[in-house]
Each structure stands twice: as structure tokens, then as C-alpha cells.
Amino acid sequence: MSTNGGRERSYQDLRESEELHRATLTSISDAVFLTDDDGHFTFVCPNADVIFGYNPDEVRTIGRIGGLLGDNLFGRGDLTAQGEIRNIERDVTVKSGERRTVLIHVKSVSIKGGTVLYTCRDITELRHAEDQLRAARADLAHASRLALVGELMASITHEVKQPLTAILGNASAGLLLLQDVAERADVTELRETFDDIIDEGRLAADIIDRLRALARKRPLVLQSVDVNELVTDTLRFVAGDAKRRHVVLRAQLEPALPPVNADRVCLQHVLLSLTLNAMDAMDHLEASQRQVFLRTKRTGDAVVVAVTDTGHGIPAEDLPRLFEAFFTTKKEGLGLGLAIAQSIVEAHRGRIWAEDHGGRGATFHVTLPTQGPA
């Protein structure tokens, strides 16, 4: 082959290569840019309008990458040290005025005067889908809490009735004492009676407040939570139901646990769900054998809550599927309780798992990260 023929063939290969790269860049949905050290464009991909609405010439008129993506995307020192920075998320305003969410990868390069390569992907629809999924999970968790409240109504009615009965009894006694209070110099007994009325009234109000909080639809609200206190509240919630089912409830709480950063209502929901499941697992047992243990302890930088029953245990083939949505071993169950509990625990950066005791009961463990040193 002659020298001219070889040169012509090289030019042809180069043109075909450029056409291939142009066709590839035009067909992909990502937008690619090259800039110099000062952020000025040295290359703009042909399909920039797919995400941003601007054609390449309009992008070049903008001049700098900061005009398109905003400033302070990354530290130059970080890029120099790492060579590449991935998953930078930024909300940008496109040509139409619409706000879009863009996922950006930057890479240190040296191509025709360009030193930084930007790859941009539109993830707006993905974020919308994630928001809708979170809302659906919140609705499902709320519906599950309402179902729990329904299950606990017998217990709660009994719990509220006790202080109300005491209030009525003390009020009647107070009225009788008032009949001859004018003849008595000592009103200590009367004062104690009305103190009891106030205490019992506050107890009834507290029970109702906790019930309303459990039933209310609300977003996740993180705060400092004492897990031992939450376990104690859970036992109070289910005490009436446990008595009706002849279940003995026992608590073994490690003292001075560090607090966890959690949504109190959602965490209460998890503990209630696990405790009620534990009681359900023992319906087939003689009344004398029905026991539920709630234990807490600290392990490293986490607090662990364990709910143990003395029921029939969990078959080995069921263990891997326990937290799947719609998987259930109950005749009338929907199979959503444990799936919702898992989603709540994971939203708290925690972990939940089950352990079978060889057909002699089971334990569900919930691990939550602590806020810091005790």
C-alpha cells in the first residue's frame, strides 16, 4: 500500500471513529462536559439539551460549568487526591425553569486542554419514585399501627377504666368529707383524696395521649429515646391483653443504657408488633407455659432489644422469608407486620432478625445505633 493510500485510510478510520463517538454521545441520556481548571467549557456533548434544555452553543455561551450545575460541587484537592469523585447530587434549574435533580461524576483527565470530565445523569424521576415509595411505606405503617390499636383495645379499655374508677371513688369520698369539713380542723384526709384524683386523672390522660400518638399519621420524627422506658411502656400497653390470654410478661432491662436517636412512635410500633406476635405464637400452649421476655442490653455502639417467646419456634424453611411482604403463617394474617417492622428499623440505621430455639420458642432481635457514649 502506498504512503498516500495509508494516510487516506488513517483519515478514513479517524472520521469513522469520530462519527462513532458522536453517534454514541448523541444516543445516551447522560450529558458529558469537559472544562479547564477554571471551569470553562472545552467540550460540550451534542445532547446537553436532553437534561438541561440548552443546545451545545447555548451551553458554551453560559461559559462555565458553575452556571449550569452551580458552584462548589467538589474540592479541587479531593479530586487531585482521588482522581475521581462519584455520586454528587445537585438540584439544578433547566432552560424551561423546571427544577431537576442531577447525579454528577467528576474525573480528573487531560484531554485537549480539558482537565475535568463531568458526567451528568437526570435522576429526577427516580427521586420522585423514591418519595412516593416512602409515602406509601408511611401510609402502610400508619395502617398497621391502627390495626395494632384495634388489637389492643381490650387491654387499653381495661387500663383506662382503672384510673377512672379510682377517680370516681375518690371524688365520692371527697364529697362525703366535705359535708362535715366545717366541723373538722384537720383536712389532711381530704387533701390526700383530691391528690389521688389528680394523679389518677393524669394517668388516664397519659394513656389516652399514648394511644392517640400511636394512631396518628405523622412523618418520622427523630429524638433522643430511652429504650428501657419504651419497653416499659410497651408492657403497659399489652398488660391487659396478656392477662386475658394468660401470658406472663417479664422484663430484663440493662440499667443506664445510652439513648438512641429514633422516632418514639415508630419504635413503639415495632416493639408492640413483636410482643403481640410472641403472644400469638403461644396460643396452642397450656396457660402455665406462656411466657414472653423483653430484654435490653448494650453491645458496642448499639442497643439491642430482644423479644422471646416460649412457643413452637420458627421452621427452618420459614426463617429466610419472615420479613418478606405478604408472607405469613397465620390463618388470618396479611404478612405485613414484620415487613413494616423491618422497614422502620432499617430507617433508623438498625437491624432486625429472628432466631429459632429448636422448636422451643423464638427470639426477635432489634439492634439500634446509640447516640454516643453513655
The DSSP line for 87-130 is EEEEEEE-TTS-EEEEEEEEEEEEETTEEEEEEEEE-HHHHHHH
Read off the C-alpha cell for 76: 479541587
C-alpha separations of 251 from 10, 205, 255, 292, 303 in Å:
81, 25, 12, 8, 15
**Alpha-carbon span 263 to 319, nearest angstrom:** 27
**What does the DSSP 8-state code read for residue 321?**
G
Q: Where are the domains of the chain?
A: 3-122, 136-219, 221-374
Region class of 321: left (phi > 0), else alpha (psi between -120 and 50), else beta: alpha
Per-residue pLDDT tens over the stretch 214-256: 555 556 678 899 999 999 988 887 887 788 889 999 999 999 9
* Per-residue confidence (pLDDT) for residue 373, from 0 to 100: 42
CATH superfamily of 221-374: Histidine kinase-like ATPase, C-terminal domain (3.30.565.10)
Q: Rounded to an integer, what is the distance from CA 201 to the centroid of its chain? A: 35
Q: What is the DSSP string of 285-319?
A: S-GGG-EEEEEEEEETTEEEEEEEE-SS---TTTG
Per-residue pLDDT tens over the stretch 143-199: 666 666 655 655 565 566 667 777 767 777 766 666 666 555 556 666 676 777 776
Strands 84-93 and 99-111: antiparallel
User: Is the per-residue pLDDT at 91 higher than 60?
Assistant: yes
User: Is the per-residue pLDDT at 264 higher than 70?
Assistant: yes
Q: Is residue 276 within 8 Å of residue 241, measured between CB atoms?
A: yes
* Per-residue confidence (pLDDT) for residue 374, from 0 to 100: 35
Q: How far apart are the first and last CA of the chain?
A: 82
pTM summary value: 0.49
Nearest CA to 305 out of 346, 233, 251, 359 is that of 251
Torsion over CA: 238, 244, 247, 251 (sign): positive
How much is the average pLDDT of 7-30?
57
The amino acid sitting at 15 is: R
309 burial type by CB count under 10 A (0-12 exposed, 13-18 middle, 19+ buried): buried
Per-residue pLDDT tens over the stretch 115-147: 999 999 999 888 888 777 676 666 666 666 666
**Alpha-carbon span 85 to 103, nearest angstrom:** 11
Which residues have a Cβ under 8 Å from the Cβ of 173 and sit 6 or more positions away? 193
CATH number of 3-122: 3.30.450.20
**Alpha-carbon span 267 to 271, nearest angstrom:** 6
Torsion over CA: 260, 265, 267, 272 (sign): positive
274 burial type by CB count under 10 A (0-12 exposed, 13-18 middle, 19+ buried): buried
Percent of the chain clearing pLDDT 70 (strictly above): 68
The values of phi and psi at residue 102, to 5°, are -120, 135
Q: Rounded to an integer, what is the distance from CA 280 to the centroid of its chain? A: 26
How much is the average pLDDT of 205-221?
61
Percent of the chain clearing pLDDT 90 (strictly above): 31
Torsion over CA: 148, 238, 330, 267 (sign): positive
User: Is the per-residue pLDDT at 329 higher than 50?
Assistant: yes
> E strands, 112-183, where?
114-122
Nearest CA to 51 out of 140, 113, 122, 145 is that of 122
Determine whether domain 136-219 maps to CATH 1.10.287: yes
**Averaged pLDDT score across all residues of the chain:** 79
